[in-house]
């Protein structure tokens, strides 16, 4: 039976881990050969994905373990170069698992296409004309992409507003249309752009204005995903710190980030340490997700914490994360990149909504891992211990020497390349 609880996984060799994953998932022989090859992304495929290709660039692909979300086990592929992220997320997922797991939900899969109209004789008359012709505009947009309509999606609504209507504005007036488009399981950029471009001439005719920009918005605030967890304080006990001390420290750390943008930026970067690796591994647009997440963190007018941490009446730690999540499970690199296909296979998800929920759960876990470390032993103790292997490799260590050098770096608390070079020279004499 598939489970995300795999004790001792980190102790296995890479070959042993691969064999275990092959046993857990119904890969075909062709998929096994492709997914687990030395270079899964063939150069011919890469050459057709972007321009001016000279090769491929690989990142480590690890598995986030122990995730129990809405009662379902998830093994989460994470593509990232930074040490300690996968370990931290897995550690916290184990704690939350003991507390009953994460609960998540997602809103509808509605993305936004924008159309900018300038030069109207009367912007308020033009706005009313758009509202009057709303159904015709929606019909024209859906006609431009019938396949998404056939899958149950398409334009569901239209909104229009006037920007810079104030005479004191330093910018010119413009009319902005929002097409609200259900993209089903696609991220939807091509769908949205096709639709807004197709109706631009009709909008010009209705408004007697000039259309310039017609493009999607990556601020997907109608495609939200939420994660929630409740953790009894006894599960947070660490070394000489009581669970209550850790809980209170985490809440104070959140309050710091929610009050100060200098702290919020680093706090939120830690959340994205969990989110981006899953977005990348599944072939989704991590730049779009990043942009939308940071914009959402500033929706109050100030840049604030993406997460919230509080204490309930029973004294439990309560964590929440809500973000726009413009991801897909069809189209783009999700069906072109072999490792993206493998990642989706391992996740065993049924929809883009489900993927979005898994992603925010990982983000919440990663944030808790960072905060728990910060309010107890500090961030460096665990991070640098894991980073020591990379330092050893950078100093020229290979094979078994990597572990020997890394261990001595940790023991001497000198995790730096200069010290590692000394050790490599010492053991190779």
Q: Tens of pLDDT along 267-279?
A: 999 999 999 999 9
Give 385's pLDDT tier (boundaries 50, 70, 90): low
In a domain, 312, yes or no: yes
The answer to whether residues 366 and 269 belong to one domain is: yes
Average pLDDT rounded to a whole number, residues 130-142: 98
Please say which residue of 332, 349, 376 terminates a domain.
Answer: 376
Question: Mean pLDDT score of the chain, rounded to an integer?
Answer: 93
pLDDT of residue 166: 82
Please say which residue of 178, 195, 217 terminates a domain.
Answer: 217
Q: What is the per-residue pLDDT across 183-193, written as a single tens digit (0 to 9) for each?
A: 999 999 999 99
The answer to whether residues 188 and 320 belong to one domain is: no
The answer to whether residues 121 and 149 belong to one domain is: yes
pLDDT of residue 382: 60
**Nearest Cα to 161, choosing from 202, 128, 138?**
128
The answer to whether residues 148 and 190 belong to one domain is: yes
Catalytic residue among 2, 252, 269, 426: 269
Give 384's pLDDT tier (boundaries 50, 70, 90): low
Choose between 16 and 407: higher pLDDT: 16
In a domain, 392, yes or no: yes
Lowest mean pLDDT among 140-149, 253-262, 383-392: 383-392
The answer to whether residues 209 and 256 belong to one domain is: no
Tokens 């159309």, located at residue = 115
pLDDT of residue 386: 62
In a domain, 88, yes or no: yes
Q: Tell me which residue range forms the domain holding 424.
A: 381-428
pLDDT of residue 170: 84
pLDDT of residue 390: 75
The answer to whether residues 117 and 199 belong to one domain is: yes
In a domain, 398, yes or no: yes
Catalytic residue among 91, 294, 337, 383: 383
Clarify whether 82 is annotated catalytic: yes
The answer to whether residues 387 and 372 belong to one domain is: no
The CATH number assigned to the domain holding 22 equals 3.90.770.10
The answer to whether residues 238 and 157 belong to one domain is: no
Please say which residue of 333, 357, 376 terminates a domain.
Answer: 376
The answer to whether residues 253 and 370 belong to one domain is: yes
In a domain, 4, yes or no: no
Return the half-sphere exposure (C-beta side, CA atoms, 13 A cut-off) of residue 2. Answer: 18
Sorted by sequence, the CB contacts under 8 Å of residue 73 that are 6+ apart come out as: 2, 3, 4, 5, 67
In a domain, 82, yes or no: yes
Percent of the chain past pLDDT 90, that is, above it, reads 77
The answer to whether residues 348 and 422 belong to one domain is: no
The CATH number assigned to the domain holding 168 equals 3.30.70.420
Determine the distance from the C-alpha atom of residue 106 to the mean position of all C-alpha atoms in its chain, rounded to a whole number: 14
Tally the domains of the chain. 3
d(CA 197, CA 147): 17
In a domain, 3, yes or no: no
Choose between 126 and 39: higher pLDDT: 126
Catalytic residue among 31, 47, 73, 82: 82
d(CA 364, CA 274): 8
Q: Is the pLDDT of residue 11 over 70?
A: yes
d(CA 75, CA 314): 31
pLDDT of residue 381: 61
The answer to whether residues 402 and 363 belong to one domain is: no
Clarify whether 285 is annotated catalytic: yes
In a domain, 2, yes or no: no
Clarify whether 383 is annotated catalytic: yes
Give 357's pLDDT tier (boundaries 50, 70, 90): very high
The CATH number assigned to the domain holding 399 equals 1.10.8
Catalytic residue among 185, 285, 322, 354: 285
The answer to whether residues 363 and 386 belong to one domain is: no
Lowest mean pLDDT among 41-50, 164-173, 188-197, 225-234: 164-173
């Amino acid at each position: 039976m598939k489970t995300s609880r795999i004790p001792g996984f980190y102790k296995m060799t890479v070959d042993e881990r691969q064999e275990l994953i092959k046993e857990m998932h119904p890969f075909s022989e062709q998929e096994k050969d492709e997914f687990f090859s030395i270079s899964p992304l063939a150069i011919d495929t890469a050459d057709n994905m972007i321009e001016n290709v000279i090769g491929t660039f690989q990142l480590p692909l690890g598995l986030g373990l122990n995730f129990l979300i809405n009662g379902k086990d998830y093994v989460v592929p994470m593509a990232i170069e930074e040490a300690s992220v996968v370990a931290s997320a897995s550690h916290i997922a184990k704690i939350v698992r003991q507390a009953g797991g994460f609960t998540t939900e997602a809103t509808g899969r509605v993305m936004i296409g924008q159309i900018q109209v300038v030069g109207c004789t009367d912007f308020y008359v033009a706005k009313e004309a758009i509202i009057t012709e709303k159904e015709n505009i929606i019909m024209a947009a859906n006609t431009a992409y019938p396949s998404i309509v056939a899958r149950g999606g398409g334009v569901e609504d239209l909104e229009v507003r006037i920007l810079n209507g104030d005479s004191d504005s330093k910018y010119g007036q413009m009319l902005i249309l929002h097409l609200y488009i259900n993209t089903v399981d696609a991220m939807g950029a091509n769908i949205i752009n096709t639709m807004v471009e197709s109706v631009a001439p009709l909008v010009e005719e209705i408004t007697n204005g000039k259309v310039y920009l017609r493009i999607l918005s990556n601020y997907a605030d109608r495609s939200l995903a939420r994660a929630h967890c409740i953790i009894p304080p006894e599960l947070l006990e660490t070394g000489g710190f009581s669970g209550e001390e850790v809980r209170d420290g985490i809440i104070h750390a959140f309050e710091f980030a929610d009050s100060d943008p200098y702290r919020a930026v680093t706090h939120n970067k830690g959340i994205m340490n969990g989110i981006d690796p899953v977005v990348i591994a599944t072939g989704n647009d991590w730049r779009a997700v990043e942009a939308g997440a940071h914009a959402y963190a500033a929706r109050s007018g100030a840049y604030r914490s993406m997460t919230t941490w509080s204490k309930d009446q029973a004294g439990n730690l309560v964590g929440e994360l809500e973000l726009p999540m413009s991801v897909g499970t069809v189209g783009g690199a999700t069906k072109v990149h072999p490792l993206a296909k493998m990642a989706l296979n391992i996740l065993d998800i049924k929809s883009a909504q489900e993927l979005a929920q898994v992603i925010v759960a990982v983000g919440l876990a990663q944030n808790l891992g960072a905060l728990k470390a910060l309010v107890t032993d500090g961030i460096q103790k665990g991070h640098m211990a894991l980073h020591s292997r990379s330092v050893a490799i950078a100093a020229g260590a290979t094979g078994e020497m990597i572990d020997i050098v890394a261990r001595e770096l940790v023991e001497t608390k000198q995790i730096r390349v200069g010290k590692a070079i000394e050790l490599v020279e010492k053991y190779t004499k």
